[in-house]
A and B are shown apart, each in its own frame.
Chain A
Amino acid sequence: MKANYGYLDGSGEYFITIDTDLCIDCKDRGCVDGCPGGLFEIIVDDYDDEVAAIKEDKRKKIKYDCASCKPASDRPPLPCVNACTPGAITHSW
């Protein structure tokens, strides 16, 4: 399942997509500690699989919480994407 967390508002589209099919066999759970903002957590989804998700109280502030990792004039590798060993995480911006 592709879970898209984030939003589209007047200023743009900001989504973090987690391919949860890749989370199921992941042992490292690197995203949880890998994100400096603590955006990720492991949940049991509606189909009883243990997968990564963006914490509920962070989903509406994604642009702001990710801002420190996305400087205005640069695009360094993102810590969460690096930490995710199965490569399940992508950012839309």
Chain B
Amino acid sequence: MMSDDKKEFWRWKEYNWRDENKDWKGAELISAGVDVGSVSSQAVILVDGELYAYSNMRTGSDSPNSARNAMNWALEDTGMTYDDLHYVVGTGYGRVNVPFANRAITEIACHARGGNLMYGPTVRTILDMGGQDCKAIRCDERGKVQNFLMNDKCAAGTGRGMEVFADLLSIPIEEVGDLSLEVDEEPPPVSSTCVVFAKSEASSLLREGWSKKRVLAAYCSAMAHRVVSLLERVGVEKDFAITGGIAKNSGVITRLTKELNLEALKSKYDTQIAGALGAALFAKTLMEKQRKSA
């Protein structure tokens, strides 16, 4: 059990951002998306379809208020209030906990739509590795879902699985990926898929004299391999993109793209906002539909 009073190696940086150069006051349509995940929550605000502000924070144990906290933080210093938002879509594990949302849409559809904007209309396969789940999505050029799979039963291949290892090895989670690549020779992957058993295995390896970097390499390798199995179920078609927190883990990404023999597209957007971004895009479309039929 990870206690909060000792150094928290699993804790990653929370942040918000807004476009200081944009004046939203004359905007036609302000849409927002809120993605409440079991580990992290994001809020995204689009002004006439362009990214204006967003926040990324840990959901914590206060899940009913996470949506509001995330939105408040995104709105911070913008001068915007909830009343200025024309349409809000809620998504994520806690999408029923976005009390101010006009509609809830599944995280699958939102990730596909968000990915379509973030990576462009050529993207066909999106892998999202979130805090407590792993999604494999095939989409078309409009970001509409053609095939999907979501694995939220098992911690292996999720951010939580990686947090367990960061905690075990006392390494800040943001450094895990790069450190795992600093090995002369790629070790065999950890043989257990299960995080609980992989952790015991890692403890044995450390006792046998393996360096922390080598253990990390073995775990990232196992995680990458497992994710490839999931991707193969929906089929991998290029272009390929990766969203979510683990997209920032070079150790997993490098090994994953190598095994697939396929590079992942890059985006100027933060990979963790894909869901909320897609939700905000759905919000824009739904508001436009509403106005047309009015």
Q: Report yes or no: A15 in contact with B197, Cβ–Cβ below 8 A.
A: no
Contact A10-B152, Cβ < 8 Å, known A1-B145, A46-B105, A46-B109: no
Q: Report yes or no: B106 in contact with A46, Cβ–Cβ below 8 A.
A: yes
Partner pick for B144 among A4, A7, A47, CB 8 A cutoff: A47
Name B70-92 residues within 8 Å CB distance of A: none
Q: Which residues of A contact B145 (CB under 8 A)?
A: 1, 46-47
Contact A8-B154, Cβ < 8 Å, known A15-B233, A46-B109, A47-B109: yes
Q: How far is the CA of A13 from the CA of B149 in the complex (A)?
A: 12
Partner pick for A10 among B108, B146, B193, B282, CB 8 A cutoff: B193
Contact A7-B148, Cβ < 8 Å, known A13-B229, A46-B106: no
Binary interface encoding of chain B residues 135-147 relative to chain A, with 1 for a CB under 8 A from any of its CBs, else 0? 0000000001111
Q: Which residues of B contact A74 (CB under 8 A)?
A: none
Binary interface encoding of chain A residues 1-43 relative to chain B, with 1 for a CB under 8 A from any of its CBs, else 0? 1111011111001010000000000000000000000000000
Q: Report yes or no: A4 in contact with B147, Cβ–Cβ below 8 A.
A: yes
Q: How far is the CA of A58 from the CA of B115 in the complex (A)?
A: 28
Contact A10-B229, Cβ < 8 Å, known A15-B149, A47-B144: no
Instruction: Count how many chain A residues have C-beta atoms less than 8 Å from C-beta atoms of the other chain.
Output: 18
Q: Which residues of B contact A61 (CB under 8 A)?
A: 153
* Chain A residue nearest to B147 in the complex (CB): A2
Q: How far is the CA of A88 from the CA of B229 in the complex (A)?
A: 23
Contact A1-B149, Cβ < 8 Å, known A9-B193, A10-B194: no
Partner pick for B226 among A6, A8, A15, CB 8 A cutoff: A8
Q: Distance (Å) between the CB of A8 and the closest chain B CB?
A: 6
Q: Which residues of A contact B192 (CB under 8 A)?
A: 10
Interface residues, chain B, CB within 8 Å of chain A? 105-106, 108-109, 144-154, 156-157, 192-194, 197, 226, 229-230, 233-234, 282
For the complex of A and B, 3 pairs with smallest distance between CB atoms: A10-B194, A7-B153, A9-B154
Interface residues, chain A, CB within 8 Å of chain B? 1-4, 6-10, 13, 15, 45-47, 59-61, 92
